[in-house]
Structure 1
């Protein structure tokens, strides 16, 4: 199983952005990443230099939002929805997206995903997939 380091992830997003801007052929994963990057112009400057991106500090104490975490969550949610894993996430996503748009739906789902991961880390238990999907359903029903 491939487990990329945070530096690998940063380089991946920078390279996908470089390829997209240069009009080069994109892999399917590059294309998905580039689609999300295009929707986040506020991150473009930070994606221009991979070595600088690797060196940056995005700690909470640094007070800077981590564009690589944000974009990675978009990719994770895209994958979850495409395979409906956990079961029910696609339907919950689709309801939410119909109400507030696909991009904003992803941002709302990120809140649920972050809460699910935080709870799992705090309790030492596996992520509660049912609670995660229910959180998205609740947001869809607002």
Structure 2
């Protein structure tokens, strides 16, 4: 790869949040290309926003849940079938409160709670392989202190 190609590579930076309540995972069902797929509350980092703030914001916008981040799970690199590169930063969080009247982001059909076995049983419904990879790492106990992600001013 030459230097010019390197400068044009711009992965989509996304965040995702694993929220667990009573052994069940908070997921969102969203409409993508005419299919209802499952994902963690997740989305793109916005300019000037920290990764942690993006994770909290996306969880609220997509599910109506206010959460408190408890740990950093990991960073995941994936290239979609169409060639789009993604870098996903995944956090663990605990639910604080829910606003059932809050409108959800465009394309989100609903928020739901599934146990891990229910999620694993539906691999064809996952928005991407990142969904299960993040959950599997969370279930295996992978947790890092939030301070591992440094925001430099």
* TM-score in terms of structure 1 length: 0.23
Specify which structure has the higher proportion of strand.
2
Specify which structure has the higher proportion of helix.
1
Q: Which has the higher contact order (CA 8 A, sep 6+)?
A: 2
* TM-score in terms of structure 2 length: 0.22
